[in-house]
Each structure stands twice: as C-alpha cells, then as structure tokens.
Amino acid sequence: GWSHNISVWDDQVPAFKTRYQVVRYDSRGFGRSTGFADESAEPHDLLVLLEALHVKRAFIVGHSRGGSVALRFASAYPNRVAGLVLYGAFPEGFPAPPEVGQLFGSLPSIAKQHGLDSVGKLVLASPIAWVPPGRNDVTDRYRRLWAAYNGKDLLDPHPESGRVPAVTISDLAYVKVPTLVIIGDHEAPFIAAVADTLTRRIPGAKKVVIPNAGHGAHFAQPASFNSALMDFFYDVGRNKKK
C-alpha cells in the first residue's frame, strides 16, 4: 500500500513460506527501492521481477495502491497469474468522494509546506487508518510504517507519476483470473463500495470481510486474513485439478 514497505507483510511470511515461495518487494521510490515512485511502470516492474526469479505463475496479492497495480498486472499478463487478491483496493478510474480527492490532492503541498509529520497526522486520523478499540499495537504499527516513509512521491514526484492507465468499471468484465476481494468490516466506506463493485463485476470473484479490522486487516487480524488467503489458494489449486 501507499507509503508502506515490505515490513507490512511480516505477519504473512511465516504463515506461507513453508508451502509457497513468498516474494514481497518495495515498489520503486518506497522502502529500500530507489528511483522515483512511478505507478505507471509497476506492472512491468512486477513482470521483470517474476522473470528474474524464474516464477512462471504466481498468486498476486495487492493491498490498497498495490491492488491497483495487481489488477493492471492481471489484465496485462493473465497467463502469469494463478490467482488475484484485491485487498482494500482502490483502482484508478473509480469515483472517489470529493472530500477524499481533496484530502489526497492536498498532501503534496502540505508535505512541502509543513513536513511529512503533518501529512501523517491527517492520514492516521482518517477513516482509512481505523484501529480496533484497545489495539495500541496496531496504532504503533501504523506509526512505525509512517516513520519509515520517505515521502519522496510527495516531495519530489516523478513527472509521469500521475499518468496511470485507468482500469474502468467496464474493464472488469475482462479479468479472466480467479479473484478474491478482501476488506475489513471497518474499511473506509468508499473503499468498501469499490470492493462491492469489484466483486460484482469481475467474473467469478468472491469477497471475504475480515471482522474487527479496517484498512490494515493483514496486521490487525493476521490469523483471519491469512486463513482467507490460504483458503483461496487451496480452492484455486483444487479447481485447477478438476
């Protein structure tokens, strides 16, 4: 997801590494990856990574911003996708409420004028960072992820970063890979609405709602999240054998 790094998947790697080759990576411009953040290049970046690792087909799991990348990758390279997981995804081309567009549209200027701490306070106070009551560990996780964020995409954006080919709602009918949509039951309402659209419009897509979780279900409720993934992977493999 936006502003995060590979540590956000720390609760998933131990659960899956005994059965699967697990690959997680920092998108360019985030975490330890260098260069400018450039979402338009990310599906091809993922293809190059899989080829370098000699991975012919994989389950592609994308969270939030990564869900957009995963969806465009599956649309462009369906033969490389065993299954697609769109988790808290908000692809380009989907309408956002005006207040959401205004908030995220204002972040670059806020970052430049007032610093990343001011941006962090806004983001972490928004519905997208909902935390289960009493879960200080989840609050701390969000804070650590933000503290590690370099803000380069806000402070020094790539000149092409805003030119991302949008996947429209009508395009979803052409997604031809097994698809699972995941959200938390306290997800931001506009993302929950997108999840419903993805589930309705992608042929055969199924949806799982993680109880007592928001946008960070994978680290707020890792057992439930991991179980949803494992069940999906198993079902895809079983159906392939039929």
> Is 179 inside any structural domain?
yes
**For 79, phi and psi rounded to 5 degrees?**
-70, -10
Question: Tell me, what's the pLDDT at 219?
Answer: 95
Question: Tell me, what's the pLDDT at 42?
Answer: 87
CATH number of the domain encompassing residue 108: 3.40.50.1820
> Is 168 inside any structural domain?
yes
In the block, tokens 């409420």 appear at: 97
Residue from 52, 53, 4 nearest 32 by CA: 4
Structure tokens given for 156: 């020094």
CA distance between the termini of the chain: 35
Taking the C-alpha atoms of residue 86 and residue 71, their distance in angstroms, rounded to an integer, is: 7
Question: Tell me, what's the pLDDT at 99?
Answer: 81
Which residues of the chain, if any, have pLDDT below 70?
3, 31, 35-38, 158-165, 241-242
Question: Tell me, what's the pLDDT at 41?
Answer: 82
Number of domains in the chain: 1
**Residue 205: how many CB atoms within 10 A of its CB?**
19
Cα–Cα distances (Å) from 196 to 98, 193, 241, in that order, read 20, 5, 29
Could you list the residue range(s) of the whole structural domain that residue 194 is in? 6-241
> Is 1 inside any structural domain?
no
pLDDT tens for each residue of 42-98: 899 999 999 999 999 999 999 998 999 999 999 999 999 999 999 999 887 787 788
Question: Tell me, what's the pLDDT at 210?
Answer: 98
Under 8 Å between Cβ of 64 and 142: no
Under 8 Å between Cβ of 140 and 128: no
Question: Tell me, what's the pLDDT at 159?
Answer: 61
> Is 75 inside any structural domain?
yes
